[in-house]
Every structure is written in C-alpha cells, then in structure tokens.
Chains A and B, each alone.
Chain A
Amino acid sequence: MAKEMTGAEMVIEALADQGVEHIFGYPGGAVLPIYDAIFHQEKVRHVLVRHEQGAVHAAEGYARSTGKVGCVLVTSGPGATNAVTGLTDALCDSIPLVVITGQVPTHLIGNDAFQECDTVGITRPCTKYNYLVKNIADLPRALHEAFHIAKSGRPGPVVVDIPKDIQFAKGSYFKPNEFQHKGYRPKVKGDIDKIKTAIELMRHAKRPLFYTGGGVVNSGPEASHLLRELVKLTGFPITSTLMGLGAFRAADPQWLGMLGMHGTYEANWAMHDCDVMICIGARFDDRITGRLDSFAPGSKKIHVDIDPSSINKNVKVDLPIIGDCAHVLEDMVRLWRASSATPDKKALKDWWQQIDKWRARKSLAYRNSNELIKPQYAIQRLYEATKDKDVYITTEVGQHQMWAAQFFAFQEPNRWMTSGGLGTMGYGLPAAVGVQMAHPKSLVIDIAGEASVLMTMQEMSTAVQYRLPIKIFILNNQYMGMVRQWQELLHGGRYSESYTHSLPDFVKLAEAYHAVGIRCEKPGDLDGAIREMIKVNKPVIFDCVVDQNENCFPMIPSGRAHNEMLLGDAAESVEDAITEEGKVMV
C-alpha cells in the first residue's frame, strides 16, 4: 500500500520499517527537512555526534556489536567528506552501514553551490554501492535496496545521497517487502561437492589448522557456534585474524592465539608448517601472510569466503568454496559427522606435541616491573578485572591495539570492535559510543593510545550528553608507539615526529567534559584504579601512564616469513631484522 508523504518523511519511515532504532548524525543545511521529520517522531532516536567521522565510527561500533545495520545522517559537502574515513573503514572491515547524506537541490548540482561536493563520485570507491536520488519516485526503492545491499553478501557501507528538493517533494512510499533488487543475488550456499572434497582433505590431514577471520563474526552468532562445534569434532588447532577474535573461545585448549605480524609463536609456526589449512572468512591479508612466497609452503589451502574476489587475490588456494560461513560450516559439521573415515590420530597427536613445544616458547612473555606499568600488564589486569562482566572492547590503532588483541582473551563474538583493514586511529572512542548506545547496561571499554584518542576526543561530549558511561583506558606512553617502534627497528632510532608533545592533562580534560578522570602511574595502584573506573557510572578517561620504551612482540618484520618472527627477548638483534627489501613495505 502506497502512502503519500515527503521525501524527508520517507527517510524516517524507511528507517523505522528497516528496524532502525538509533541513527548517528550531525545536522546541516542540506538535511534540514530530514531533521524536521526527526523532530516530529519518536520511532528513530537520533544521536548527535561532534564530528561526522565520529558518527560513522559510532555506527560501525553499533553494527559490529549487534549484527544490525548501522545508520548515519550527515549533511552535504563537508558532512559527506568528513564521513569518508569511516566509510572506507567500514568497507575494509565489511561492516554494514547505511549513510544518508544531504545534497544541494537537484537544479544546483554541478554548479559549485555552497556546501556542494560530488558525494557519489567521492564515495564510489569507498562504499559497496551508492545512490544519488534525483527523483522522489526512486527514493523508497533506493532506501530499501541500500539496507539489503549493506547487510547481504559481504556486508559494507552504502551511501544514499538525497538532494534537498527531493526531501521536500511529495511521493508514494512503499514498504520494504514490495521490492526485489533486479540483479543483485549473493550466493550463500557453498558448492556441496567442494565441501565434500574439503572434508576429505581434512580427514587425511596430518598437520591441519583452522585459520578464521571476521567473516565468521559477520555471518552471525550461529556461525561462531558451528565453528566451535566443528573445531571440537575435528580436534584441530585454531588461530584467527585480528578481526575474527571472539568467534572461538580464547580459553579453549585448541586455541593458539592470534596469528600474523603480531601473532603468537605457536599460531605462526603452525601456519607455516601445516599441511591442510582451513581458512574460513579471512582474506589472506598482508598482515597475516608476511612474505608471500614462503607462506605456508607445504599446505593444501581450503578457502571459504562469501566474496569470490577474495579467492586467489593474494594467495593461490587449492579449494575455494564460495558461500556464507554459517551455511558452509553447517554443511561441514554435517558431512564430518556423516563421514566414516577416521582421522590420522597418531599424526594429530604428533602435531599437537609440536604445537606444545612452540607454546612452551611463551612468545607473549615480557619482563614486568615494579616501578613502571608495563602496557601488557595493564591489559592483563584490565582483563582480570572485567572477565566476569558483560564487557565490550573497542580500540584505537597501534601498539595498544595489538596488546589488547594479545592479552585480552575474547570468549564471545561481537565483543571486539577494532579497525583492522584501514587501521583508523580515532576509531575506538566513537565506536565505544555506538556500542554503549546499543548495550546501555554493559561495560564498554575503549583500549586507547594517547595519540589515537586525541583524534576523535570531541566525542566525549556525545558520551556525556547521552549519559553513556564508556571507559577510555589510555595506555599513555607519550609516543605514537607503533611509529616509534618501527623507527627504532627500521630507521636507526631517529624518532622523527613520533613523540606526542604537549599532551593535555587527561584527568583535567575529563573533568572539562564533566566526565571522570583517573590517573595511574604505579603497577601497585593499578588494580584499585581499574576497580574505581568500573564502579563509576559515568564516562571515564583513565590515564594509564606506561613504560615509554616497550615494544610490541612477537613481530614478523615486513618482508619476512612466519618462521622468521622476532621475539621480545631477542629484541637486541633488531637492527638487521629487516632487509632492505622489507624496508619499503608498510
């Protein structure tokens, strides 16, 4: 049934029909009609951010912690360009978003009008799809299709650019179920013959390994559940990418920890030496593979991915299976149970013995101190203090992010929000705002670095305004730590511009925002300070002053293979760790 209404009202109606409860945004000239429509209703709650980038990251945090589509509303021109970083971030990490941007009236498009920019042109490479709606009759379809495209297949951000005259224009609104996209049909079921072959390969594996990624989390809780079942059934070891943490229980003995550039010794060596690799929902990113020509050289590779363009992009695989992780895992579990062949028990036992030897190397070990807080220790204490709570973690980007991934043991999916693909400093604080909005009763902590968090610090205002008791746990080493680490390893210790000079007093800064500031400088005070932070029912900035010189290990230097990783206690030999060839890589 068609209902007559204005374009602006259609936007709100469509959001409500798509089940949207919160939208993150910032008003401006070209979206005023939509803001007027927001004023007149209570179905969709608007969250006012302090910068459009913050709106997109908040929506990302919201989406990743709930499995729903995150929604953003920004104005034309600078509103849209400020959203670009968040859009690119969401594209890299496959986060479903619908971002509505205002545009100058259709008759002014192309005239360099005030606050005009070519939004669809600018966002074309950083969205899964985008629309410029130049006719009111196209608006309902565009809005509903945007949600469908954002959440189906490999999820991603979709922009709907709506000129102001279209927001004022009257037209007929249709409900979502009255549309079907004309060509877009993502394939979710995997090819059953290929899955059978995969099970066959797994049955005969002597040194198998599961390598899982963000695709399992994106596929929904059912995928994580099935993954756990399959791992249990097979008895194989499992590792995961940064994005995939939480899909499998970190407390499980079959868990090897994260792999890749800052992954554990056992995960990377197992990856290097495995004979059957079962990659599920991961994409062989360069942070994972290291040097490509010596990446898992003796292995048969099974690759389950919903996106055909992920197959054979970086690494040639032997058995690609196109499909949604949950569907393929369901088939795998069923076929494994039905299969009569028994796995090579002796070989598996030997494999586990080898893995235990690697584990015994204790690659995450660090030298603790009574004088200075070691950043690793801070994360460990934070984990101990929060592990029995309903906790969600977001991060910024850098050393603290890697330490969080290494030392915070995630047991459930959707609890870990981090910027993996794009590596966006400033992601964590606004993401925490989004997560807390979706989970008002939960404990939401942004594990941050002092440099990153200053990039989006203004969102503290948002947190205070909406009474979101997020905790900003800053590992403050007064350096852009990862930059400093690379300069130490690669550039002869010439710390060019990586010292974060003239830092604010974070305690006073918190107070200036009407939030709570806590500073901790001694290891002995840490537990008490963390307890205090958790107890406060207000936003908190926790300034954890840590050792300035700590480096993040283990580390696979650029251009090296998995079996050439650097360990913390071998850190003295770092000068020649990276080859000339490796230096040009990122």
Chain B
Amino acid sequence: MNTTTHYPAATTTQQIESHTLSVLVDNEPGVLARVIGLFSGRGYNIESLTVSETEHQKHVSRITIVTRGTPMVIEQIKHQLERLVPIHSVFDMTVQGPAIERELAMVKVRGKGEHRMEALRLADAFRARVIDATTESFVFEITGASDKIESFIGLMLPIGFVEVARSGVVAISRGPEGQGAVDKPL
C-alpha cells in the first residue's frame, strides 16, 4: 500500500436549488403512484405537487412538481421521470423557462371589530377575494406566487388566522409554444 498516490478530494458540494417540473402523463390508474414512488424510492424531495387531467380526449394529465436538489440531482430526477413508460414529457420550467408559476390558497380568518376591518384592508391590498363570510369569520381566496401567499398568511396570523388550504404550484411556459405530448427519448 506504500505505492499509492494521493489525489486531493474534488469539491463535489453543489448548491441546492428549487426547480419546478411540468410533467405530461397518460391519465391511467397508478400513474401518480409511479411518480411519487420514484421520488420516495430514490430519496428526492417533493415540496409541492399538483395533478389534474388537462386533455380529456387524450387522457393526458399535467403534474406540476416543485423539488429541491443539486443540479446533478435535478437532472437525474428529470431523466428518471422520462424513463417511466406512461410519461410523455418532462419540462424543467426553471431551466427551460421563462414560465409563470401560480398557487391558489383559501385562507380562513376569525375575528371581530377592528380585526375584521384590518383583514379586509389587507385582503384588498393582496387582491384576495372574500368567498365566504359569517359575522365572525372570512374565507379569502388568493392566487399568486407562493411567496405572496406566504406573506399574506404571515399578515393574517396576528389578526385571527384559523387555517389555510393551498393548491400547490401550477406552472406554464410563457410565449406561444406549448409543451405538447412529444415522443420521449427512451
């Protein structure tokens, strides 16, 4: 073992990034389980996930996933997703952008008197709509980027925040081109 040469360890630490992936899939039983199983099985993170059928004729659904990882991991996630048989195409909105991302939230706030007024004033500033009201509560509907929703919730906390339901992020690319159900490479 005396003849070994020593090579310094290369720096492999890469920055952790957040990416939004838009995935077009065949809407068949178990397809979501395949996607989620891939993430849990390979130790990837899911920060947000939304899914709904978007083309009824072709039975195609769009899954939007927000995930975190190093660029190498993100590339792996993309390739691993593309490998799944019912997946048509995977777009990394963060890299292949520009894209628009939105989230919808319904925020329940409880309070009386001045707190009610303050809640309405802030909702107005955030362009949130009242979609349910009682004499002691509101439910606001708010859409926007995730951080806008975060700050709205933050402001509602001292006023009487009760709970929130969030849709998770949906995203679509800017410009005239669609993602389309292109043939996949594998």
- The reply to whether A308 and B34 form a contact with Cβ atoms under 8 Å apart is no
Which B25-65 residues have C-beta < 8 A from chain A?
Answer: 26, 29-30, 33-34, 37, 41
Q: CB of B141 within 8 A of chain A?
A: no
B90 to chain A, nearest CB (A): 11
Q: CB of B159 within 8 A of chain A?
A: no
Number of B residues whose C-beta is below 8 Å from A? Answer: 30
Q: CB of A22 within 8 A of chain B?
A: no
Pick the interface stretch among B1-9, B102-110, B129-137, B163-171: B1-9
- The reply to whether B184 and A184 form a contact with Cβ atoms under 8 Å apart is yes
Bound CA–CA A265/B119 (angstroms): 73
A260 to chain B, nearest CB (A): 18
Q: Could you say which interface size class chain A belongs to? A: 35 or more
Closest to B72 in A: A312
Q: CB of B86 within 8 A of chain A?
A: yes
- The reply to whether A128 and B85 form a contact with Cβ atoms under 8 Å apart is yes
Pick the interface stretch among B15-23, B76-84, B93-101, B147-155: B76-84
Residues of B close to A129: CB separation below 8 A:
85
Instruction: Indicate whether A308 sits within 8 Å of B185 (C-beta atoms), given known contacts A124-B37, A293-B12, A294-B7.
Output: yes
Q: CB of A198 within 8 A of chain B?
A: no
Instruction: Indicate whether A184 sits within 8 Å of B85 (C-beta atoms), given known contacts A153-B186, A564-B1, A564-B4.
Output: yes
Instruction: Indicate whether A308 sits within 8 Å of B83 (C-beta atoms), given known contacts A154-B186, A573-B1.
Output: yes
- The reply to whether B183 and A183 form a contact with Cβ atoms under 8 Å apart is yes
Most buried by A among B4, B85, B88: B85
Closest to B4 in A: A564
Residues of A close to B10: CB separation below 8 A:
293-294, 297
Q: CB of B181 within 8 A of chain A?
A: yes
B185 to chain A, nearest CB (A): 5
Q: CB of B75 within 8 A of chain A?
A: yes
Instruction: Indicate whether A311 sits within 8 Å of B79 (C-beta atoms), given known contacts A153-B186, A294-B9, A306-B186.
Output: yes
Which A106-126 residues have C-beta < 8 A from chain B?
Answer: 120-121, 124-125
- The reply to whether A185 and B34 form a contact with Cβ atoms under 8 Å apart is no
Q: CB of A328 within 8 A of chain B?
A: no
Which A307-326 residues have C-beta < 8 A from chain B?
Answer: 307-309, 311-313, 316, 322
Instruction: Indicate whether A563 sits within 8 Å of B5 (C-beta atoms), given known contacts A125-B41, A183-B181.
Output: yes
Residues of A close to B9: CB separation below 8 A:
293-294
Closest to A273 in B: B5
Contact digits for A356-373, partner B, Cβ 8 Å, 1 yes 0 no? 000000000000000000
- B interface residues, Cβ below 8 angstroms from A: 1, 4-5, 7, 9-10, 12, 26, 29-30, 33-34, 37, 41, 72, 75-76, 79-80, 82-83, 85-88, 181, 183-186
Q: What are 9 of the A-B contact pairs (CB < 8 Å)?
A: A125-B37, A184-B85, A292-B12, A294-B9, A308-B79, A309-B79, A309-B80, A322-B185, A564-B1
Q: A293-B12, A309-B186 are in contact. List 7 more A-B contacts (CB 8 A).
A: A183-B181, A183-B184, A184-B85, A293-B7, A308-B82, A312-B76, A322-B185
